[in-house]
């Protein structure tokens, strides 16, 4: 089995690669983990990871300016049913549109939009940076063995915007920063995290292992 972390000029590629390799090794998984900007390699992958750091429009622009990349992973995910994980802005790109600085079209895979965080407590800083627990909204295989709730494991967040899905059943887990926001979204063979699994220690490694074993 092969996992391709998509290189389109945005994302913590080195950190993501190291985390996936470690998670696979800890689980005794011999999966090949590669970072690639080659759409042909992405099209043949058994698992695809879409990272993302920065502004929504910039990340979407990076994807669309990479010849054949969107078509490659769209065919793999939508036609072959390949599991795909979006991370941070990579997850946000699954939305219909993002509202960061301007209205920008996303992939439209999970209906909804990416909106600014608006904590009720105005003393809370934006961007939201730090460690939060998760509230599981509905069961999902990627959450197997992960402790949630107020005393659960912590995930690392750094963001100013959050995905607001149109359908409640697109939300797998919530977190809170002066109000709830989507921490994990998904449908079918697509899943995304607002937090960074590659920086989330125990929780992140377990989620990666679950993603590698997931057979939607």
Is residue 83 over pLDDT 90?
yes
Number of H helices, E strands in the chain: 6, 14
pLDDT value of position 52: 87
> Do residues 85 and 55 lie in contact, with contact meaning Cβ atoms separated by under 8 Å?
no
3-state SS assignment for residue 81:
coil
Buried b / exposed e along 159-169 (16+ C-beta atoms within 10 A): bebbbbbeeee
- Is 196 a catalytic site residue? yes
**Closest C-alpha among 86, 107, 99 to residue 160:** 99
- Is 59 a catalytic site residue? no
Alpha carbon distance 94, 39 (integer Å): 18
Instruction: Specify the residue for token string 């709730």.
Output: 149
pLDDT value of position 1: 84
pLDDT value of position 175: 98
| pLDDT band for position 101 (cuts 50, 70, 90) | confident
Mean pLDDT value of segment 91-101: 94
3-state SS assignment for residue 201:
helix
Phi, psi of 98 (to 5 degrees): -115, 145
| pLDDT band for position 157 (cuts 50, 70, 90) | very high
Summary mean pLDDT of the chain? 95
Is residue 194 over pLDDT 90?
yes
| pLDDT tens sequence across 8-64 | 988 789 999 999 999 999 989 888 999 999 999 999 999 999 998 889 999 999 999
> Do residues 45 and 3 lie in contact, with contact meaning Cβ atoms separated by under 8 Å?
yes
3-state SS assignment for residue 108:
coil
CA distances from 118 to 115, 121, 144, 145 (A): 9, 9, 30, 31
| pLDDT tens sequence across 196-215 | 999 999 999 999 999 999 99
pLDDT value of position 160: 96
pLDDT value of position 190: 98
Is residue 167 over pLDDT 90?
yes
pLDDT value of position 29: 86
- Secondary element (H or E) of residue 35: strand 32-36
pLDDT value of position 41: 95
Q: Nearest-5° angle of CA 34, CA 200, CA 173?
A: 100
pTM of the model as a whole: 0.96
| pLDDT band for position 100 (cuts 50, 70, 90) | confident
| pLDDT band for position 90 (cuts 50, 70, 90) | very high
Alpha carbon distance 153, 75 (integer Å): 35
- Is 100 a catalytic site residue? no
Q: Which of 88, 128, 154, 159 is catalytic?
A: 88
Per the document, the length of the chain is 216
Mean pLDDT value of segment 154-169: 96
């Amino acid at each position: 089995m092969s996992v391709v972390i998509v290189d389109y000029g945005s994302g913590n590629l080195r950190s993501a690669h190291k985390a996936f390799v470690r998670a696979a090794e800890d689980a005794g998984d011999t999966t090949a983990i590669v970072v690639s900007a080659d759409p042909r390699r992405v099209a043949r992958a058994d698992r695809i990871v879409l990272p993302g750091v920065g502004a929504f429009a910039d990340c979407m622009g990076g994807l669309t300016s990479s010849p054949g990349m969107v078509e490659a992973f769209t065919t793999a995910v939508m036609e072959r049913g390949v599991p795909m994980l979006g991370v941070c802005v990579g997850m946000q790109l699954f939305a219909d549109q993002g509202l960061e600085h301007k209205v920008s079209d996303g992939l439209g895979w999970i209906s909804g939009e990416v909106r600014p965080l608006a904590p009720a407590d105005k003393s809370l800083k934006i961007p939201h940076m730090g460690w939060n627990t998760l509230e599981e909204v509905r069961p999902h295989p990627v959450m197997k063995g992960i402790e949630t709730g107020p005393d659960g494991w912590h995930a690392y967040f750094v963001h100013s915007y959050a995905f607001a899905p149109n359908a409640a059943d697109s939300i797998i887990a919530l977190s809170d920063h002066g109000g709830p926001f989507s921490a994990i979204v998904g449908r079918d063979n697509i899943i995304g995290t607002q937090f960074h699994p590659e920086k989330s220690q125990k929780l992140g490694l377990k989620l990666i292992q679950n993603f590698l074993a997931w057979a939607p």
